[in-house]
Amino acid sequence: MTTLLAGDIGGTKTILRLVQAELKTKSNQFPRLTPLYEQTYASREFSNLVPMVHRFMTEAKATLDTSHEPEKACFGIAGPVVNNTSELTNLGWSLHANDLGQMLQIPKVSLINDFAAVGYGVLGLEPDDIYTLQDGEPQADAPVAIIGAGTGLGQGFLIPHEQGYRTYASEGGHADFAPRSEVEFQLLKYLRDRYNIDRISVERVVSGMGIVAIYQFLRDRHAADESPRMADIYRMWQSEIGQENKTVDLAAEISQAAHNETDFLSQETMKLFVDAYGAEAGNLALKLLPYGGLYIAGGIATKNLKLLQEGTFLRSFLQKGRVSPLMKNIPVHVVLNPRVGLIGAAVYATRLT
């Protein structure tokens, strides 16, 4: 058994988890992970990751009544990671794996991109951690794709490797938004004019900011269809633009109003969003043919699972002209476990040598 430290580091919060791992054997393809202790911290309350980990280990020892010194650690970072280093400019943190290992007295430490961590995380999911939209015809040792709308639009993939799958992040969310209907063409023009730019990436539509942008697009054209409650929320959101501490998450409010069927514009927004999300997931699948599965991660998917189940997402995913039959063979899953990134960091840690 090996003790691991896994982390999911974001600009707002950081989640740390102490894990006991039973490393994989010939009969067990993936390591068995047993969480021992977990805690969430406000990232800005710490000058660096080191004092946070020190507090975490102290609290873990007090809670578990015994000391579990990690032999390996992996931290998923919400930002670019180059040569095991990462600069979190919004926090003023400069992280170097070697330095962290020395200061924390952990023999093996690695930093990976947070979406790469999600990629490794899908390898450790249990059946209850996913909802299957399409069974497909899964193939062993085939590529696996991951897509996740959140603050932005993460995309990545896993490729079979002699030691198991290897995960790669990508910048696919910055590919061009490709409208497929008259309303999407109008949305494209609207976003170009609103942002005064010539090119619109798919991330500007399929993400949390995309939900807001779609709502604004529809609101500017059909203001009379906005409910009084959403009108008040929108005005409050506008008044807080530019402020550091905001009280209104407009994308979440739109999503909730659509779920509750209390605002027509919110419902239409989420329909258009899910339609575009399914199409982009299909675009990713076309490029990879991930017969090992396509996994939809991120909080937006889990909070809007009912909308994904209604058929629009899968219809857009499958609607790929002459090659549509190929798409029916790809398994499509929604990741329900919000700790998939932590699972992935722990999985990656088991591989450190």
Note the pLDDT of residue 74.
97
Write out pLDDT tens, residues 110-168. 999 888 999 999 988 999 999 999 999 999 889 999 999 988 899 999 998 877 788 98
Note the pLDDT of residue 27.
43
Architecture (CATH level 2) of domain 173-335: 3-Layer(aba) Sandwich (3.40)
Q: What is the CATH number of domain 2-126+338-350?
A: 3.30.420.40
Comparison of pLDDT for 30 and 40, the residue scoring more: 40
Note the pLDDT of residue 325.
94
Would you kindly state where each structural domain of the chain is located, as residue ranges? 2-126+338-350, 173-335
Average pLDDT over residues 20-34: 72
pLDDT value at 29 more than 70: no
The rounded mean pLDDT for the chain is: 92
pLDDT value at 220 more than 80: yes
Backbone angles phi, psi at 186, to 5 degrees: -65, -40
Q: Model confidence at 273, in pLDDT bands (50, 70, 90)? A: very high
CB 60 within 8 A of CB 37: yes
**Same CATH fold assignment for domains 2-126+338-350 and 173-335:** no
Q: Model confidence at 24, in pLDDT bands (50, 70, 90)? A: low
Average pLDDT over residues 6-35: 82
Write out pLDDT tens, residues 191-200. 999 999 999 9
Write out pLDDT tens, residues 247-264. 999 999 999 999 999 999
Note the pLDDT of residue 90.
80
Note the pLDDT of residue 26.
53
What is the pTM assigned to this prediction? 0.90
Write out pLDDT tens, residues 134-148. 999 999 889 999 999
